[in-house]
Each structure stands twice: as structure tokens, then as C-alpha cells.
Chains A and B, each alone.
Chain A
Amino acid sequence: MISCITPPFILDRLLDSDNEAIRQAALATLLTTARLRGQREVRGLISGALATAADGRRSIFDCENGTFLPFATFVRAEDDEPVADRSANQAFDGLGVTRSFYRDVFGRNSIDGRGMRLQGFVHRGRRYNNAFWDGQQMVFGDGDGEVFADFTGSLDVIAHELGHGVTEHTAKLEYRFQPGALNESLSDVAGSMVKQWHLGQTADQADWLIGADIFTPSIDADALRSMKAPGKAFNNKLFGQDPQPDHMERYVELPDTDEGDNGGVHVNSGIPNKAFYLVATIIGGNSWEAPGVIWYESMRASAETTDFQAFADTTFSKAGELYGAGSSQQQAVQTAWDEVGIRVGVSPTLGRR
């Protein structure tokens, strides 16, 4: 069985290192799949090579309720102390935790893998009920105060949005139909992993909710979405029932329009979300370890039009590459997708083995 503490994407990067010892260690690991665990000297060299404290520097801007970002006022830089504005500090901290997560867990230097600056814009618009990633920066609304609260208050929402940035720089999944729902799901996976990593929670301990903090106390809703129980995040008179399916049998066909949510990208993401939750709970322990590595590697191996089936197939083959064919991790991947109605590892080629 192949078992390696350092994921292949980090090893690939280390092969480009200027340090001969690191290159040799990475090469040896790739060739022999030797475990690096316990080899303190090598691990020290690796962490040194990955240290990028100066990279992904943060800047926070205050839109002062405007919608035109170039007019925003700069309020906090990477080395500045906290400022008086709570939203600015929350955005700053959320960007920082997410940046640390990608660096420490996946060896990824910021959103683009090359130290891209992280810019956050707070107080965008008036009573604006959203947070989004515009390809360059993260933008936060204050919420209307009735249904939604300040969007900077949710770490999983911040990580979700930055996750869109990572997807844009890797798989580039188009934002419609299944590739779009997969795009949304990968951001929810990022959001939940970052939150769990920050809180030190195992898969069993986590709530698997996205946006639990963005509703005002008066709203009867657990969260925006539940990865554990898609379709059950909310059910109230004000905005009805959570429309997310948790199985392909309940896949919601919607048109590729604004009204149709680009083919239901925020709706059908419930299916791959549930699959990730199941993989993480079946494997057990921390979601950002084997489950996260399998998903991250599979995202990097995906493309603009990758659909659910293709992504599921990729996670199955990646689990085999990373942890061995027939490993418990690969079996967990197969079981999880099967439970949401997507069969993997049953092609004629694989079936004969």
C-alpha cells in the first residue's frame, strides 16, 4: 500500500527547490514512496522551503456602502494592528486563516499558488446580502440586518469565496450546470475544511454547516447549506425549504439563466457536498487529511466541463494513487459516491481486476 505523509503536489514543488537536499529527498520519496514521517532533518528543510510568510499579503478596504470598488478606502495592511472596524478585522482574520490553511495543509502559496495578494472589501453596498469573489478580490456585504448579518462574521463563507479563487486557478470549472454545482461544492468543501481545521474538529465533531453565522438571530434557519444533510439547512415561512438534493435521484433540473441559478449551481451542489461529508466520516479523523487531499488532487486534475461522474471517477483513481488500490480510503470514496447515486470503480477495465 502506498502511504505518504507528504502529498504529491508538495513533492512536485519540492523537486523545483533550489536546495539540493530537498530535491533529493523529494525525488527519493516520489520514487520509493518512502515515508518521511520521523525524519526530522528532512521535514525541517521542507517546512523551510514552504515558508512564505511574506506572500499572500492582506489589504482590507472599506467601500463605505458604495458599489464601485476603486472608490474604497484602504483601512488595514498585513503588518497593521487591528483597527476600530470589526468587519475589517474579521475579514482580515478570515483571509489569514484561509491563507494559512492552504499553505500548511496543501503547501499552496495563496490563491493562485504564487503568493497572490489577498484583498478584502468590506461594507460593500447598502444592506447588501452577499459576499463574492470577483476574480481578483473578496467583497463583503453588511447584510440587511433583518435576514442576513455581516458576512465577514463567517469563516466558512470567507473560505468558500477564496475557494472559488483556488478553483479558478486550477480546474477553472465553468459556472453552470454540473461543473458549476461542482465548483460551488468545492468551495463548500474548502469552507468546511478551513473551519474544522481552525477549530481543531474531527469529521465527527464538525457541524458541516455553511453560513451558520450569516443569519440574524430572528431567522429560523440553521445555515445556508448543510453538507451532512442537504435539503435540511432551513425550512421557514420567510424563504421556504432548503432546495438542495442529497442524491442523484433528486437532482434538480433548472435552466441556465439568472433565475435558474445557472442551472442550479447552489442547489445541486448538495450531491457532491454529501459525498465529501460521507468520505470524511467513513475515513474518520480530520477532513483535511486524506479526504481533503483526495479532493484537492482531484480538483487539480479536473477541467472546465468536468461533471459529477467525471469528478467522482477522478477521486476514486486519486484515492488509489495516493493510498493504494483497494485501500480503506479508496473504498470510502466508492461507498460515499454510491450513497449519493454515483457509481465509481465499476468500469469493465476495473471490474476484471
Chain B
Amino acid sequence: MRVSLATHGGLAAPITSRRPPRILDTERMPPAAAGQLRRLVAAVLAEGGGTRRSGRGGDAMTYTITVDDDGRSATITGSDTTMSAAFGALLSLIERQTG
């Protein structure tokens, strides 16, 4: 499974959008972390794939996570002001693994 995180918006939106996406591939991860990534992706997808944009002002960032797995693709979205706990956990894991 390949997971890509694109970040947009925020105080420095024009700069943020020009930064490359963060990419994770379970084949290149320790088994425990790969298993955790699969579980968190499944949890967010079970919620309906995250939330739409907040529509509210104030420099919140938005996140688009694209999941490619065995020929299937899904897109999960969230924002700083509207993300669920599961989405937050997935985001943290991706950031930790790619940081």
C-alpha cells in the first residue's frame, strides 16, 4: 500500500503548496508501522473518508491523503479544524514516518 499526503493552505499557503508530498510505502516500512498504517487508513475510510473543507477562515491547513492499494485508489481529506481523532492519528503517523 502506498500513501501520499499533500498539504495545502495555512498561513504560508503559497509556500506550503509548493512543498513536495510526503509518501509512505508499506513495503518499505517496518512491519509493525506498516500494520498500524493499514489499520489507521481502514479506520478513516470506515468513517467515510474524512471531512470536507472547513469553509471557515483563519489559516487552517487542509490535507489530502491518497491511498493506492492493489490497484484500488481512495482519497481521504481533512482539515485542521474539522479532522476526526482517527484522521489526526493517521496524519500524525504519516508525519512521524516521513519526518
- A pairs with B: yes
B-binding residues in A (CB < 8 A): 66-68, 125-127, 129-135, 139, 144, 147-148, 151, 157, 160-161, 164-165, 167-168, 173-175, 180, 183, 211, 214, 224, 234, 239-240, 242-244, 258-259, 261-262, 265-267
Interface residues of B in 26-67 (CB under 8 A from A): 53, 55-62, 64
- Inter-chain contact count A-B, CB under 8 Å? 111
Distance (Å) between the CB of A126 and the closest chain B CB? 5
- Contact partner, B85, options A68, A174, A259, A267, Cβ 8 Å: A68
17 CB-based A-B contacts, threshold 8 Å: A68-B85, A125-B91, A132-B11, A134-B58, A134-B81, A161-B58, A161-B59, A168-B57, A175-B58, A183-B57, A211-B11, A239-B18, A240-B18, A258-B64, A261-B14, A262-B9, A267-B14
B58 touches A125 (CB 8 A): no
Q: How large is the interface on B (under 10, 10 to 19, 20 to 34, 35 or more residues)?
A: 20 to 34
Contacts of A144 in B (CB 8 A): 99
B99 touches A127 (CB 8 A): yes
Bound Cα distance from A127 to B8, whole angstroms: 15
Identify the closest chain B residue to A151 (Cβ): B11
Bound Cα distance from A211 to B58, whole angstroms: 15
Distance (Å) between the CB of B15 and the closest chain A CB? 5
Identify the closest chain A residue to B60 (Cβ): A132
Bound Cα distance from A258 to B15, whole angstroms: 13
A261 touches B58 (CB 8 A): no
Distance (Å) between the CB of A324 and the closest chain B CB? 34
A-binding residues in B (CB < 8 A): 8-19, 53, 55-62, 64, 77, 80-81, 83, 85, 88, 91-92, 95-96, 99
Contacts of A267 in B (CB 8 A): 13-14
The 9 closest A-B pairs by CB, nearest first: A133-B58, A175-B57, A130-B10, A164-B58, A266-B13, A258-B8, A132-B59, A67-B88, A258-B62
B57 touches A180 (CB 8 A): yes
- Contact partner, A132, options B10, B17, B64, B85, Cβ 8 Å: B10
A261 touches B57 (CB 8 A): no
Distance (Å) between the CB of A328 and the closest chain B CB? 34
Bound Cα distance from A303 to B62, whole angstroms: 25
Contacts of A157 in B (CB 8 A): 11
